[in-house]
Amino acid sequence: MSSFPHSADSGDSSQSLLSQRQSELGSQYVVESGVFMSSFTATIFVAALVTTGLLMLTLLIALTVMLNSCQSSNSGILEHAKKSDQHDYCSLYIFHSELNNLEIGEFPLNCKLFALQYSKRHYLKDLNTSIWFIEDYFAGLTPDEDGLDIILLDADDLLSMIGNFSRISSVDRNEHIEDIKNQAHILLVRFYRQLRAGGWSLFLFTRKPSKHWKTTESTLTSSGYLGWSSLVMRSDEEIQMEDWEYLSNRRLQLHKQGFRIVGLISSKLDAFRGPHLGKRSFKLANIQYYELGNANA
């Protein structure tokens, strides 16, 4: 009988110890595994989880932005490479069109936009640069007093910017092209006067027949091209000749007459075929095929 009170005392003692322990630790969370976690520790743990989640979300957003940026950059590079390939193709095709004097119907459709972009952005710049090369060369030279030093200048280039005698006069032109040609005309008149001021004898040549001499002479002089020494035009016997053959034949005649061709200036490649080209040849920028491509776009 004396053992029962002892057991009760033992239980009271255990409860007293448990209460004392709880009092010492304060409020706690009890996990099923037996791990105890205070409310402060739980708060820190949850905050850490939220922070980690935010960091992961921020990292994901940053990676997404970087990926889109890389895709845009690569797309831009590919687009630039594509445009560069198109530019190279069309430039080469137009060069061969010039070289072989191809007709307008042979101009490739996919290069017509390129032709328009060239005429808008680059033609006047290229023309001005080619003129500068010529002026820089002749600035250091003076013609001999015997008057036999001459410069051959393509009158068809001058006339094409005036508009009355252009080889492409039948093609419908837009206002932008006309503005470009007007600016080119101003550059060419200034260039022509600069050569004249240097004391050079200017022989203008055109591929037109001599029956148009009076009209051609009037157009040139009224447009500011004054004081030239000679205007070379086709005779009746030369009508059936190829342009390059006719021009080469005329240079040969000038050579036999004792003239010294100091410079040959033209935008068309047929002018540079054959012998007796002279001491130096200069090619001006040519808008012909770029204008043709634009006109038929």
Q: Does 296 score more than 90 pLDDT?
A: no
Helix axis angle for 288-295 and 175-197, nearest 10°, is 170
Average pLDDT over residues 68-87: 57
Same domain, 70 and 139: no
Provide the number of structural domains found in the chain. Answer: 2
Query: How many helices (H) and strands (E) in the chain?
Result: 9, 7
Higher pLDDT, residue 110 or 26 = 110
Average pLDDT over residues 199-215: 96
Higher pLDDT, residue 157 or 118 = 157
pTM, two decimals, is 0.67
User: SS3 for 150?
Assistant: strand
Same domain, 69 and 210: no
Q: Count Cα neighbours of 118 within 13 Å in the Cβ-side half-sphere.
A: 25
In this prediction, residue 41 has a pLDDT band, given cuts at 50, 70 and 90, of confident
How far apart are the two ends of the chain, measured CA to CA in Å? 120
Q: Which domain holds residue 232?
A: 101-295
Same domain, 49 and 148: no
CATH number for the domain spanning 264: value is: 3.40.50.1000
User: SS3 for 231?
Assistant: strand
Phi, psi of 208 (to 5 degrees): -85, 155
Same domain, 67 and 113: no
What is the predicted pLDDT for the residue at 51? 81
CA distance 216 to 233: 10
Same domain, 228 and 276: yes
Domain boundary among 57, 75, 93: 75
In a domain, 96, yes or no: no
